[in-house]
Structure 1
Amino acid sequence: MQTDPAERGARPLPGARRWLVGPMSAQRAALYLSLYLLAAANWPLWLELARIAGAPAELARLALGMAGLSMAATLLVLAPLAWTRAARWLWVAVLLVAALAQYYMLVYKVAMDPGMLANVLQTDVREARDLLSWRMLAALGLVMLVPSWWLARLRLAPAPWWRQWLGNGLLLALALVLAALSVALGSRDLAPLMRNHPALRYLINPAAPLFSTGVAIHERWFSRPRTLVRMTEGAGLGASYAPAQRPLLFVLVVGETARADHFALNGYARDTNPELERRDVLSWRQVFACGTSTYASLPCMFSPLGREAFIARTQDYENLLDVVQAAGLAVLWLDNQGGCKGVCERVPFADAIDGLDAQQRARLCQGGECSDEAMLAGLDARIAALPEAQRARGVLLVLHQMGSHGPAYYKRSRPEQKRFAPECRTEVLSDCDHQALINTYDNSIVATDAFLARTLDWLQARAGEQDTGMLYLSDHGESLGEYGLFLHGMPYGIAPDAQKHVPMIGWFSAPLRARLSLSTDCLRAGLDQRLTHDHLYSSMLGALDLHSPSYQRALDVLAPCRKP
């Protein structure tokens, strides 16, 4: 019986079907999938190489060497998973990781280093929701649809366990040989390339995001120092806490994603600080962060160690809040972000939305996200719940902002705070007109300005009974398209200043200045000195007039301006 030629052409040939969907060994399937990922999920790497390379011949040499390393790295990921029963579903998970990583690397120009993945692992639902879009789903489908269909139809040939072990071992050996050949044949080009552009290693997909996730998980849950080094011994109240002295009330505002160069107080041409400019505040203009993400910066800025020692530490240490509480003051951490990253583990804590009535929630917490001003609602009642004996001496209140958290900057300001138009109304920042993106970010700074002004109003209303003060300091900055970069979280050594240069603003009531013998003229004269997050710990102890063996006068911004 003859078959119609058209029918023969419509059906795949048996050999093609066998080549495509099996039965085949899991190792061969892993090899095919590695080739696909090399071509379809490494576009950030190829585009960065094209930007770096000069002549086409140089690009070809670099791409060939990096292709060998990337293929080897992908095989090292897939080979241990090449078991006939569970392989396909594990590979679908790898495809999802690769597709997500490529999307964020292309759209936000980030590198998948351990610091970035540690930050991702601590992202809460509100922050994650801002990153979702139909474009992201389309990008995932573009990478995942065809190989997922193939994996669903794939028939993996069964094999005895010893053959599986042997096959996986050979696949791992192939990966190592391929990596060795790539290095040996291309070392003349690859060695200077990786030395001069270290972020390239974190563009190799999916090996880099999987490796970085493993490192972040290990650091976070398995290798964290278990010994807590006490820093509270010897902490106590200074001379200003005499029996007849009024209690102290100090607010430390931890800003989020704020850039110093977008504050009008620091010389920015736009009026982003309309309310603070009418108040008697101090703005230090040259302050630099511990890290480029909340995960890296927040524990570091509250630490007594300083950035370098904090990164190199082998044990956990008590922090500023522990010392303030041990000295005898009441401490409260109020959060409108993704948590305190371990800083507030041993002091009272509350979320901004906690305790708000239905009317307050409707006004301040629309769409499941509270504005920063929700932290000021019911604040007197929150403080009244703190231990009375400590309150009688003084209170340190820490307010952790949502601030200018991206990419949904347009959500961070209310309609009356949108001074600059048009706005960027998408989370895909590379799609925005650059000026619209700047407008949206600047409106979020206007919202922070209004929040700080309301905080000062609240403090001034209590100045008749308490000595009040405030310090605002952002955790890190933000890239807004400069050098093709968006958001934050770049490795510190190669991150631009936009991600590290942060605002710091202080306000001290007249009674507090008298209590501390502070010279305002002296403080204003030092507003251009270069400072870092390292100065926060001792400066806060100085502002609260607390003594501790961990205090360092050289890192206290206020110390040179205290009158004898």
Structure 2
Amino acid sequence: MKELVLPSPAAPAAPAQRKRMLPPFSRPTVAPRWAALALAIWCTVGLNQAWWARLSQLAQEQSLSGTEQLWTALVLTAATFLWFMLLSWPGLRRIGWSVTLVTAAAVQYFMLHYGIVVDPSMVRNALQTNTSETMALMGSGLLLHVLLYAGLPMAVLWAGVRLQPGAWRRDLWRSALLVLAGFGVVGLGAKLLYKPMAPLVRNHTEIRFLINPLSTLVSVGNVTLKPLFKSKRPFQRISEDAALGASYTPPLKRATAAGVAAGHKPPLLVLVVGETARSDHFGLNGYPRNTTPEMEARHVISWRNVRSCGTNTLASVPCMFSHLGKEGFEGRKFEYENLLDVLQQAGLRVDWLDNQAGCKGVCNRISNAQADKIASAAALSQWCKDDECLDQIMVEQLDQRLKALQAAGEPQGTVLVLHQMGSHGPAYHRRSSPANKRFLPECATHVTSDCSRGQLVNVYDNSIVETDHFVSRTIDWLQTQQDRFETGLIYLSDHGESLGENGLYLHGLPYVIAPDVQKHVPWVLWPGTLLARTQVAERCLRAGTDAALTHDHFYHSVLGLLDVRSSTYRTQLDAFASCRPATRQDAA
């Protein structure tokens, strides 16, 4: 019988053999300060493309030498490094750094594709954007951009390296030395670059908002943190003395120069707050394409030379309903009541119907509703898709809103405000019904820079055609109410839009640097039977449609048209005052 031979235990591997048996990949250990520096370099090189491209465009105006460009890169890197070091606490750094990278990548995408800058005004506007508008900006292009410019460094950060544990304690002096060096580079660079860069920053304010991600971080901090250290503006009423004028005197009791005249029917005025409409794309204002045939058929009056208060909804809408005007509104020390408060206090019924992302505080003290929240199932089916509705859904609800306001008794007058979705981008193709898509082919994506200029203009013009139809349907509804009311309508857009001119898209640039197309807006009046109430000569208005107007005129023009008395009224800002036989003298 053979002996059973058991295998002997394997001998310990030699050192060289053990080395060969190690895993093929071993994550290197990196001190957090060096990881922060690497990420800062990545931001300077990969996430500041809009900044470098803009400097290149301005080279003919102010060319930077090679040394100056190197110092610019060093300053950007050092300043970004200081931010990453601020987030380099254990348990926070990977998350904080990742959020910064994702934010920077997303912001760069919008800068490159839409030509926007992220200033405090843009941040405020973004924070008040509803889900539907936000989703319209999302797409595969954005996702791929973020995956490339944020995903790659994040993959290295989370899976490619080990951050040295406890390094902030053991190597505090080394990190502090590197931080001091960062401050030194920023300070010295600012001194060396002041002479070549100051003229550029002075003449092209937008370039400071292109520094990524620092500009976005400063803007977000300005909007979210600054109010915490700033006292809230006290609220002040302005409507105490509001009253209805002589035209509201009961029948057969209103004295005139010629004797005694019969009284008027109650006024019914519709105010349409337009959205993102450019004056130069209204056929009424000389645009070669007849984008407004229905309003033209209803003999509206259109002013051609009107400028907005801001370049986004959040800035413009509260400003246009304010008595202060643009300059006073932006520098105000109090929060005030607005036009709608004054009208309501005077005795008129006022209602706000919204098909947008809210009234920005303007309708807080009056009756208001969101159109899709009160619509019937049939109306939602007809006018709504993917959580958005065409503005025509509001026309379907006019009878309902008017009836609700009259429930408490016959009003002395009614003002209905309709806030449009209008031509809000970038998903312009969702802003018009199939019947109003007259200009084809149209851009059928929200990535406007992917479309040809012709396709983009087509889809935007179709949205103006839709607005024309919506306003005209509202006028037709008003005509059905003329047996009970003296009717009229004012349409005024909140701001304009860039459609690729000079590489810019959408709106929201800081007012001082925004192109005129983001500020030049249409103002339309359908006179109905309301002009006669305050003796405004229609022929006179039609002769003055080239007059220079702004949102500053809106508050006072509405008060004048409705014959509402207030100490806040200013005759010189009433667009209709010069066409009355005797100018009102409510205020100096």
TM-score bracket, normalised by the shorter chain, equals: over 0.9
Determine the structure 2 residue equivalent to 1:560. 578
CA positional deviation for 1:292: 0.6
- Percent identity at matched positions? 47
Paired residue type of 1:79? M
**Structure 1 segment 222-233 matched on structure 2, within 5 A:** 223=230, 225-233=232-240
1:513 equivalenced with 2:531 (yes/no): yes
User: Which residue, 354, 374, 382 being the options, matches 2:401?
Assistant: 382
Counting only pairs closer than 5 Å after superposition, residues 12-161 of structure 1 correspond to structure 2 as 17-18=27-28, 22=29, 24-54=30-60, 58=64, 60-153=66-159, 154-159=161-166
Q: Which position in structure 2 is the counterpart of 1:347?
A: 366
| TM-score of the aligned structures, taking structure 1 as reference length | 0.94
Amino acid at match of 2:507: H
Aligned equivalent of 1:295: 314
Q: Secondary structure at the match of 1:93?
A: helix
Instruction: Output the amino acid matched with 2:504.
Output: L
Measured in 2, the distance between the counterparts of 1:57 and 1:535 equals 43
Q: Distance in 2 between matches of 1:329 and 1:401?
A: 23
Letter of the structure 1 residue corresponding to residue 481 of structure 2 = R
Corresponding residue for residue 447 of structure 1: 466
Q: Which residue of 1 aligns with 2:433?
A: 414
**Structure with the higher helix share, 1 or 2:** 1
Q: Does 1:545 align with 2:563?
A: yes
Contact 1:49 1:63 in 2 (8 A): no
Residue 141 of structure 1 deviates from its aligned partner by: 0.5
Aligned length: 555
Unaligned runs of 5+ in 1: none
Would you say 1:203 and 2:222 are equivalent positions? no
User: Cα–Cα, structure 1 residues 226 and 459, in superposed 2: closer, same or farther, change >3 Å?
Assistant: same
1:42 CA displacement: 0.7
1:353 is paired with a residue of what secondary structure? helix
> Given the superposition, is the C-alpha separation of residues 439 and 221 from structure 1 closer, same or farther in structure 2, using an over 3 Å criterion?
farther
CA contact (8 A) 1:329 1:390 kept: no
Contact 2:322 2:555 in 1 (8 A): yes
Instruction: Determine if contact 1:330/1:391 at 8 Å carries over to the other structure.
Output: no
Displacement of 1:217: 2.1
Q: Residue type of the partner of 2:217? A: L
Tell me, yes or no, if the aligned pair for 1:241 and 1:393 is still in contact at 8 Å: yes
- Taking a change above 3 Å as real, the CA distance of residues 467 and 180 of structure 1, as seen in their structure-2 partners, is same
Q: Give the one of 506, 511, 514 matched to 1:492.
A: 511
Structure 2 match to 1:527: 545
| Structure 2 residue aligned with 1:461 | 480
Q: Give a deviation string over 1:287-308, Cα, whole Å, max 9, x none.
A: 0001111111111111111101
CA positional deviation for 1:32: 1.5
* Alignment equivalent of 2:419, drawn from 395, 400, 403: 400
Letter of the 1:316 counterpart: E
Query: Is 1:46–1:63's contact at 8 Å kept on the other side of the alignment?
Result: no
**Corresponding residue number in structure 2 for 1:194:** 201
Kindly indicate whether the alpha-carbon contact (under 8 Å) linking 1:291 and 1:297 is maintained by their aligned counterparts in 2. Answer: yes
Deviation string 1:498-524 (CA, Å, 9 cap, x unpaired) is 0000000001223x2222211011111
1:74·1:207 contact (CA, 8 Å) conserved in 2? yes
Q: Give the Cα–Cα distance (whole angstroms) in 1 for the partners of residues 382 and 397 of structure 2.
A: 14
C-alpha distance 297-62 of structure 1, shift in aligned 2 (>3 A): farther
Larger Rg: 2
**Residues 442-501 of structure 1 deviation map (CA, whole Å, 9 limit, x = unaligned):** 000000000000000010010111011100000000000111110001111111100000
Q: How far, CA to CA, are the matches of 2:318 and 2:532 in structure 1?
A: 32
Pick the aligned partner of 2:346 from 327, 343, 353.
Answer: 327
Residue-by-residue CA offset, 1:416-467 (whole Å, 9 max, x unaligned): 1011111011111111110111011000000000000000001001011101
8 A Cα contact 1:328 1:390, kept in partner: no
Distance in structure 1 (CA, Å) of the matches to 2:310 and 2:487: 30
Report the Cα distance in structure 1 between the residues aligned to 2:272 and 2:80, rounded to whole angstroms: 44
Distance 1:355 1:55 in 2: 56
Contact 1:118 1:217 in 2 (8 A): no
1:158 CA displacement: 2.8
Distance 1:367 1:354 in 2: 14
Contact 1:53/1:59 (<8 A) preserved: no
Task: Give the Cα–Cα distance (whole angstroms) in 1 for the partners of residues 333 and 175 of structure 2.
Answer: 37
Cα pair distance change 1:386/1:163, threshold 3 Å = farther
Quote the residue 1:236 is aligned against: 243
- Deviation, 1:545, is 0.8
Name the aligned partner's letter for residue 350 of structure 2.
V
Cα-to-partner distance string for 1:272-331 (whole Å, 9 max, x where unaligned): 011011112100000000111111111111111110111111221111111111111111
SS at match of 2:246: coil
Alignment match, 2:301: 282
Contact 1:253 / 1:471 at 8 angstroms: preserved in 2?
yes
* Superposition deviation, residue 389 in structure 1: 5.6
Displacement of 1:61: 4.4
Once the two structures are TM-superposed, the CA of residue 50 in structure 1 deviates from its matched residue by: 1.1
Secondary structure at the counterpart of residue 88 of structure 1:
helix
1:152-191 equivalences under 5 Å are 152-153=158-159, 154-159=161-166, 169-191=176-198
Q: Deviations over 1:74-100 (max 9, x none)?
A: 123212111122210111111111011
For the residues of structure 2 that align with 1:427 and 1:388, how far apart are their CA atoms? 43
Question: Structure 2 CA distance, aligned partners of 1:487 and 1:219?
Answer: 27
